[in-house]
């Protein structure tokens, strides 16, 4: 029974789609699909798998026959044709297709083949590969040619078009189609009130001009672009490529011509004077997934991304299943294996950087901060401490009486010596405000003493168990004005917690006293100098902030004010002298400990794969692909005699990921590197390295990362500078004994469980003796140390460096470094063509295996399509131009067909992704060609195409069924009625928000996190992602802006067939499932929408009927009929009564609002929820 059903169905399908009739037999429409499906997998274009040396996809070859010697086809004589004989044979050794394929031709199919042979067996070029020829528009009264074409086909079938849909229904359809949203009540009212004859056309223009148009059509394009906000695969970490998404919205709103739209996305970087936007556009092909799993071969997954780019390009522009040719020549379409890789070669010559997007505001901010840092540097000499103030006998101290308030409140006691004692157990953090009502006089200094006391834990002075404290910040106010504090000096400072940190304006730093080798249980004091003389007149106030937590607060303290009788000028003199003394000492110390380095320019620099290029400044820049085990070999030639050490500088560069110095771009931090081994050979003999030192070392995974690990013989351990990206670092390798070589070779090995080679570096040598060590000073400063005749500027440079390194000024340095930190610009993933000196070769891969590359191929386009346009370069840009060339027979058809399908639910070619032999032939071939040519003639304008479609009578038909149509054309292929289909996932959610009146109209920007159950991203996904729900308007943005995580897609979208972004999707499924019912009934966004609409209805003035009518208008853009009105009214009344007696339920359901209207709100919420659950709500009709 089942089989007979299948047979019946097969006949039905066969008859309805092929439409073979006695009048005309078309090779393309009727014959080739049979040959393709039944024969070509063995007798088609792929010569590798070809059986019996027989080719049936070509007339000459088919007539000639295969190895049996028989003519497969004898034109005009089916009975003599071997093909027919075998198809009809029951002998399993002879019959075709062979029994093991389990394919069998139907009698109808055999009949078609026989008729075709008897009529001469004419082959035709496949319709999609032949250039469209502008067909004559069938004669008719229709103004819009679409209608003429469609009605001509309907008439052939004896079908009539349906009447125009009613005004409101059509308006809702138009709104959903052009802007992806149901009309707002205001839009609907405005339209319904407009009786002018061109009301519809005006509405079309309004929608086309709306910024929401771009949002709606961008979502469709993003399906093709496989857009997502994460990298995919196991780690599936976040990425920033939403600027590309915004580019698409803007381009569509601007009606950018599709040819330009395509060129910018495929090759925007190669356009002359490419703008930032044009480079952002190349994000299209950066939407490929990135595998960050530790054990992978990054180049293998780069290849997989290339395969994805080919499939996506094929589906998006060419309507071809190119992916079939990764492993072998296409089984059906005339696309050889080689041509697939030749075409890949166009796309395969790009690097994949993160493009920093310039931002004027950020740049100005950075300039301001740099200027402030420079000012601070210039001011550093004045901050130089003169002497230890505790020993300064010149200050006369006095202890004024005080009044104290603390936050949190604590009981305090003033002791006889004027000090203030706190309880032994203090708060975690504290702010103390001290006033000095009796303080009068002029003061230069203030002193804060932290004193021991037997009542304190461990006798103090701090109140932690080990008696420490952190004084985060001291502030002084005089007559309400903040007093500038010029220096802070203490008798004891803990490492990293200097006295100056208590007056640096930063709460996260402070003064602490747990110093190595010193008894903590002694009195401590901090002396602070005022910038200008403090003139006290009874309104002086000191604020002590202690914010370190964990009871790091002082247990007993005393505040004194003092005046130094030293002459300020004399003080300044002292300061200068002290500074000069320290500088001289530093210079001497640095000069003796820093070696004299001589930069070496390698004669030759090679590697296993990346390209090493010597830069004008003698550094080496690395470009191209890196692997998990890269080896750099540098021929340093004949170097100076008596080398004692070699220095490797790892240098930052804006061209590198994370600005370098490393090249890590996945799994590890961007710009990370790990040098596993550093080996020297002199005249063929290994050179022994005695020791290694470095300016900085840090490991991103694990702890050991010092340079000494690069000489331990184990390539898995090495030197790494994690968290030091964007800065220069150096390692110095000291030789066991001085070396003189006529040929010095350096080998550096890089890599760990991810690729992390060094991206820019410089090599120097020294012959200095002694313990040559790596220096923290910049190398140009190191050079100056040994320069004989330094200029004034050079000396100033050295002094600045000294000031920045002096421990006495450490807190200022932290501030300066913070100010100098470059801004972190927004980035977007882009393509960037590789430099001419380092092209990436593209190979044919045997069976499509990454591990089996064979010969290299040069870029070339598919031979079955148009040739490259003249005058274009054989690169990605030329390829892009070829794709959208007027001569390309297929692209325009593919694009208009996709647009058609968006409106009608089905393409003129049903298989939108496959225009090849296996695709379904077009239902309206002439219309398709006419539209394709018109689209190009009108400048590839989407808006013009969309306008043309929506103003056709075909589009404007009612979508209701009728018996004749259902019988003759149940799938509405011929368009006897208007389109009717379920909304896309995003449109369903957006419709709920719009109907409720809570849809936010904010456009662009980072993706947002609307509510969904936390388990979606935490359970079962690697590295569980916390879905931090957005608040405010971001909770209710259009679904286009929802964050898309590939391995755990947004649940609402997933339930309604939104793609995961893992592959290019041309046609979405439109499923109808119980999970969708559960979502519409219970999902939080639908509930919040129902509550918002319920609240609105509850508050509106009107009868119950009027409110129901408004709900219908908002949800369905129409009025209820009397039956519906009665049903909803009955439901409302029943629920209202129920909620009146069930306040708990009413409260939960009604959401925000006053209690006395709770049951009304709850009942209207229930109404809204029910309406949103109707099929009509999720359907375009």
Which residue in 832, 1081, 1105, 1157 binds another protein (CB under 8 A)?
1081
Nearer to another protein, 452 or 1042 (CB): 1042
Smallest separation (angstroms) from another protein to the CB of 324: 7
Residues 6+ apart with CB under 8 A from 10: 106
Query: Smallest distance from the beta carbon of 1158 to another protein, in angstroms?
Result: 10
**Closest to another protein by CB, 148 or 901:** 901
Residues 6+ apart with CB under 8 A from 1165: 1090, 1091, 1093, 1094, 1095, 1149, 1150, 1151
Nearer to another protein, 276 or 981 (CB): 981
Touching another protein, residues 987-1016 (CB under 8 A) = 1013-1016
From the list 119, 205, 1019, 1033, which residue makes contact with another protein (rule: CB under 8 A)?
A: 1019
Residues 828-887 binding another protein (CB under 8 A) are 851
Question: What residues from 283 to 302 belong to the interface with another protein (CB under 8 A)?
Answer: 291, 293-297
Q: How many CB atoms lie within 10 A of CB 722?
A: 21
Handedness of CA 172, 178, 182, 184 (dihedral sign): negative
Burial class (CB in 10 A: 0-12, 13-18, 19+), 167: middle
Instruction: Note the residue count of the chain.
Output: 1181
- Residue 292 in tokens: 């960050």
Q: Binding string, 752-791, against another protein, x = CB under 8 A? A: xx--------------------------------------
Measured from the CB atom, the residue of 495 and 1022 that comes closer to another protein is 1022
Of 735-754, binders to another protein (CB under 8 A) are 752-753
Give ∠ CA 543-545-547 in degrees, rounded to 5: 170
For Cα atoms 647, 652, 656, give the angle at the middle one, nearest 5 degrees. 125
Query: In the complex, what is the shortest distance from the CB of residue 705 to another protein, in angstroms, rounded to a whole number?
Result: 8
* Nearer Cβ to another protein (8/442): 8
- Residue burial 76-99, b: 16+ Cβ < 10 Å; e: rest: eebeebbbbbbbbeeeeeeebbee
Residue number with CB closer to another protein (508 or 1019): 1019
Which tokens belong to 626? 């890196």
Which residue bears the tokens 């006033």? 435
By C-beta, is 61 or 981 nearer to another protein?
981
Cβ neighbours of 1144 (radius 10 Å): 8
Site residues (CB under 8 A) for another protein, limited to 413-432: none
| DSSP-based three-state secondary structure for 857 | strand
Nearest distance, CB of residue 696 and another protein, angstroms = 17
Do 610 and 758 form a contact (C-beta atoms < 8 A)? no
242 part of the interface to another protein, by CB under 8 A: no
User: Smallest distance from the beta carbon of 1180 to another protein, in angstroms?
Assistant: 11
- How far apart (Å, rounded) are the C-alpha atoms in residues 466 and 539? 36
Q: How far is the CB of 753 from another protein (least distance, A)?
A: 5
Residues 6+ apart with CB under 8 A from 807: none
Task: Select 216 or 1181, whichever has its Cβ closest to another protein.
Answer: 1181
Between residues 2 and 360, which has the closer beta carbon with respect to another protein?
Answer: 2
- Choice from 249, 707, 798, 1087 touching another protein (CB under 8 A): 1087
Instruction: Tell me which of 76, 238, 867, 1020 binds another protein, using CB under 8 A.
Output: 1020
Distance between CA atoms of 126 and 412, rounded to whole angstroms?
95
Q: Which is nearer to another protein, 592 or 1072 (CB)?
A: 1072
1122 binds another protein (CB under 8 A): no
Q: In terms of CB distance, is 671 or 715 closer to another protein?
A: 715
Nearest-CA neighbor of 715 among 611, 647, 624, 630?
Answer: 630
Number of residues that bind another protein (CB under 8 A): 125
Would you count residue 1131 as binding another protein (CB under 8 A)? yes
The stretch near another protein (CB under 8 A) out of 365-373, 390-398, 737-745, 1068-1076 is 1068-1076
Bridge partners (DSSP) listed for residue 435: 403, 541
Query: Do 764 and 620 form a contact (C-beta atoms < 8 A)?
Result: no
- Give Cβ neighbours of residue 937 (< 8 Å, ≥ 6 apart): none
Angle formed at CA 531 by CA 530 and CA 534, multiple of 5 degrees:
50
Nearest alpha carbon to residue 720 among 756, 690, 747: 756
Site string for another protein, 685-704 (x = CB under 8 A): --------------x-xxxx
Distances (CA, A) of 1073 to 411, 1036, 1054: 68, 25, 12
What whole-number distance in Å separates Cα of residue 552 and Cα of residue 97? 87
Residue 717 lies near another protein (rule: CB under 8 A): yes
Cβ of residue 783: shortest distance to another protein, in angstroms? Answer: 33
Does position 324 bind another protein by CB under 8 A? yes
Question: How near is the Cβ of 271 to another protein at its closest, in Å?
Answer: 31
Nearer to another protein, 433 or 1124 (CB): 1124
Specify the stretch interacting with another protein by CB under 8 A; choose among 125-133, 538-546, 883-891, 1052-1060: 1052-1060
Contact between 1044 and another protein by CB under 8 A: the answer reads no
- In the bound complex, what is the minimum distance in angstroms from residue 672's beta carbon to another protein? 12
Choose the stretch contacting another protein; rule: CB under 8 A; options: 366-374, 574-582, 682-690, 963-971: 963-971
> Binding segment for another protein among 335-343, 545-553, 868-876, 967-975 (CB under 8 A)?
967-975
- Given CA atoms 515, 517, 518, 520 in this order, what sign does their dihedral have? positive
Q: Mask 899-938, x = binds another protein (CB under 8 A)?
A: ------------x-xx-xxxx-------------------
Task: Compute the distance between CA of residue 45 and CA of residue 58 in angstroms, rounded to an integer.
Answer: 9
One of 1146, 1160, 1164, 1180 touching another protein (CB under 8 A): 1146
**Residues in contact with 455: Cβ distance below 8 Å, sequence separation at least 6, in sequence order:** 421, 424, 555
Distance between CA 810 and CA 812 in Å, rounded? Answer: 5
Under the criterion CB under 8 A, does residue 1162 sit at the interface with another protein? yes
- Tracing tokens 């979606």 back to the chain, one arrives at 1016
Give the one residue of 26, 304, 591, 619 binding another protein; rule: CB under 8 A. Answer: 304
List the one residue from 674, 687, 809, 988 that touches another protein (CB under 8 A). 674
* Closer CB to another protein, 794 or 1062, in the complex: 1062
231 interacts with another protein by CB under 8 A:
no
C-beta closer to another protein: residue 229 or 914: 914
Among 821, 858, 828, 831, which residue's Cα sits nearest to residue 842? Answer: 858
Residue appearing with tokens 């929802």? 1042
Under the criterion CB under 8 A, does residue 1148 sit at the interface with another protein?
yes
For another protein, which stretch binds (CB under 8 A), given 122-130, 570-578, 780-788, 1021-1029?
A: 1021-1029
**Residue 434: CB minimum distance to another protein, A:** 50
- Under the criterion CB under 8 A, does residue 980 sit at the interface with another protein? yes
User: Which of 835-847 are b and which e, b meaning 16 or more Cβ less than 10 Å from the residue's Cβ?
Assistant: eeeeeeebbbbee
Token pair 């909620």 is found at: 1139
1083 is an interface residue for another protein by CB under 8 A: yes
Compute the distance between CA of residue 550 and CA of residue 468 in angstroms, rounded to an integer: 10
Angstrom distance (rounded) from CA 589 to CA 879 = 62
């Amino acid at each position: 029974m089942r089989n007979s059903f299948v047979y019946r169905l097969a006949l039905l399908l066969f008859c309805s789609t092929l439409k073979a009739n006695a009048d005309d037999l078309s090779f393309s429409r009727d014959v080739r699909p049979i040959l393709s499906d039944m024969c070509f997998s063995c007798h088609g274009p792929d010569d590798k798998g070809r059986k019996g040396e027989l080719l049936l996809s070509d007339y000459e070859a088919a007539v000639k026959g295969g190895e049996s010697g028989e003519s497969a086809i004898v034109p005009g004589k089916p009975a003599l044709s071997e093909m027919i004989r075998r198809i009809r044979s029951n002998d399993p050794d002879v019959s075709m297709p062979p029994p093991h394929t389990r394919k069998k031709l139907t009698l109808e199919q055999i009949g078609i083949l026989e008729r075709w042979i008897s009529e001469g067996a004419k082959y035709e070029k496949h319709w999609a590969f032949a250039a469209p020829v502008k067909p004559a528009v069938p004669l008719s009264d229709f103004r819009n040619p679409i209608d003429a074409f469609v009605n001509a086909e309907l008439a052939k079938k004896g079908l009539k078009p349906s009447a125009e849909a009613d005004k409101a229904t059509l308006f809702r359809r138009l709104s959903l189609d052009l802007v992806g949203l149901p009309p707002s009540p205001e839009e609907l009212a405005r339209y319904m009130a407009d009786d002018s004859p061109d009301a519809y056309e005006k509405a079309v223009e309004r929608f086309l001009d709306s910024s929401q148009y771009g949002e709606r059509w961008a979502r469709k394009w993003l399906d093709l672009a496989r857009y997502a906000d994460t990298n995919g695969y196991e780690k599936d970490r976040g990425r920033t490529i939403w600027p590309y998404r915004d580019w698409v919205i803007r381009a569509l709103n601007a009606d950018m011509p599709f040819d330009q739209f395509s060129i910018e996305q495929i090759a925007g970087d190669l356009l002359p004077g490419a703008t930032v936007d044009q480079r952002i556009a190349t994000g299209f092909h950066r939407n490929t997934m990135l595998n960050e799993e530790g054990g992978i071969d990054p180049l293998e997954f780069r290849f997989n991304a290339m395969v994805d780019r080919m499939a996506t390009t094929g589906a998006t522009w060419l309507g071809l299943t190119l992916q079939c040719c990764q492993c072998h020549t296409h089984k059906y379409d005339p696309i050889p294996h080689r041509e697939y890789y030749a075409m890949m070669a166009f796309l395969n010559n790009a690097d994949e950087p993160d493009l920093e997007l310039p931002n004027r505001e950020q740049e100005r901010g950075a300039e301001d901060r740099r200027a402030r840092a420079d000012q601070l540097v210039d001011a550093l000499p004045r901050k130089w401490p003169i002497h230890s103030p505790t020993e300064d006998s010149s200050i006369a101290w006095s202890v004024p009486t005080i009044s104290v308030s603390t936050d949190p409140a604590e009981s305090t006691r003033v002791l006889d010596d004027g000090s203030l004692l706190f309880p032994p157990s203090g708060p975690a953090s504290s702010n103390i405000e001290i006033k000095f009502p009796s303080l009068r006089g002029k003061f230069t200094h203030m002193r804060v003493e932290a004193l021991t006391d037997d009542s304190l834990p461990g006798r103090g002075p701090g109140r932690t168990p080990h008696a420490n404290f952190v004084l985060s910040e001291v502030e002084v106010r005089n007559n309400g004005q903040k007093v500038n504090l010029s220096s802070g000096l203490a008798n004891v400072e803990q490492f990293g917690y200097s006295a100056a940190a208590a007056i640096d304006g930063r709460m996260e730093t402070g003064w602490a006293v747990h110093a190595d080798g010193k008894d903590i249980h002694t009195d401590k004091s901090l002396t602070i100098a005022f910038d200008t003389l403090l003139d006290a007149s009874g309104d002086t106030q000191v604020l002590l902030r202690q914010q370190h937590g964990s009871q790091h607060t002082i247990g007993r303290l005393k505040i004194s004010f003092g005046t130094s009788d030293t002459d300020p000028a004399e003080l300044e003199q002292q300061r200068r002298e002290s500074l000069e003394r320290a500088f001289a000492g530093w210079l001497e110390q640095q000069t003796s400990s820093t070696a004299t380095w001589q930069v070496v320019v390698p004669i030759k620099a090679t590697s296993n794969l990346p390209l090493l290029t010597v830069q004008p400044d003698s550094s080496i820049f690395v470009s191209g692909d890196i692997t998990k085990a890269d080896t750099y070999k540098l021929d340093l030639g004949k170097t100076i005699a008596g080398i004692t050490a070699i220095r490797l500088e790892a240098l930052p560069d804006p061209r590198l990921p994370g600005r370098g110095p490393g090249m890590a771009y996945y799994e590890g931090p961007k710009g990370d590197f790990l040098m596993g081994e550093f080996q020297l050979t002199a005249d063929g003999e290994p050179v022994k390295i005695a020791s290694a030192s470095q300016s900085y070392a840090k490991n991103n995974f694990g702890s050991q990362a010092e340079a000494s690990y690069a000489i331990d013989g184990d390539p898995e351990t090495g030197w790494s500078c994690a968290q030091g990206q964007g800065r220069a670092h150096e390692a110095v390798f000291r030789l066991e004994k001085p070396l003189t070589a006529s040929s010095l070779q350096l080998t550096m090995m890089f890599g760990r469980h991810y690729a992390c080679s060094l991206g820019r570096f410089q090599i120097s040598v020294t012959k200095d003796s002694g313990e040559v060590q790596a220096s923290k000073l910049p190398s140009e400063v190191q050079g100056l140390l040994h320069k004989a005749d330094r200029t004034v500027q050079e000396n100033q440079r050295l002094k600045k460096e000294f000031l920045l390194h002096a421990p006495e000024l450490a807190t200022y340095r932290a501030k300066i470094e913070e100010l100098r930190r470059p801004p972190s610009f927004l980035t977007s993933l882009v393509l960037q063509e590789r430099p001419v000196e380092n092209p990436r070769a593209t190979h044919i891969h045997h069976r499509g295996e990454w591990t089996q590359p064979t010969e290299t191929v040069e870029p070339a386009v598919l031979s079955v399509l148009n040739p490259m346009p003249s005058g274009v370069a054989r690169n990605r840009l030329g390829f892009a131009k070829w794709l959208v060339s007027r001569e390309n027979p297929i692209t325009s058809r593919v694009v208009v067909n996709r647009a058609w399908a968006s409106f009608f639910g089905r393409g003129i070619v049903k298989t939108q992704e496959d225009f090849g032999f296996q695709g379904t032939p077009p239902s309206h071939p002439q219309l398709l060609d006419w539209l394709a040519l018109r689209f190009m003639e009108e400048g590839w304008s989407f808006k013009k195409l969309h306008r043309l479609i929506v103003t056709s009578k075909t589009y404007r038909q009612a979508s209701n069924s009728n018996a004749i149509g259902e019988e003759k054309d149940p799938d509405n292929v011929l368009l006897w009625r208007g389109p009717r289909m379920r909304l896309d996932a995003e449109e369903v959610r957006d419709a709920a928000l719009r109907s409720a009146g809570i849809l936010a109209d904010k456009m662009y920007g980072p993706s947002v996190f609307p509510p969904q159950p936390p388990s979606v991203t935490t359970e079962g996904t690697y590295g569980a992602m916390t879905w931090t729900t957005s608040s405010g308007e971001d909770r209710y943005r259009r679904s286009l802006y929802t964050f898309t995580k590939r391995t755990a897609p947004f649940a609402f979208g997933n339930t309604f067939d939104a793609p995961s972004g893992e592959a290019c999707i041309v046609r979405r499924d439109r499923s109808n499932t119980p999970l969708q019912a559960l979502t519409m009934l219970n999902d939080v966004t639908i509930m919040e929408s129902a509550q918002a609409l319920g609240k609105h209805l509850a508050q509106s003035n009107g009868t119950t009927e009027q409110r129901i009518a408004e709900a219908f208008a908002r949800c369905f853009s129409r009025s209820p009929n009397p039956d519906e009105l009665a049903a909803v009214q009955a439901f409302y009344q029943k629920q209202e009564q129920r909620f009146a007696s069930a306040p708990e339920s009413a409260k939960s359901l009604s959401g925000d609002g006053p209690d006395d209207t709770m049951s009304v709100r709850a009942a209207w919420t229930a109404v809204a929820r029910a309406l949103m659950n109707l099929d009509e709500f999720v359907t375009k009709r």
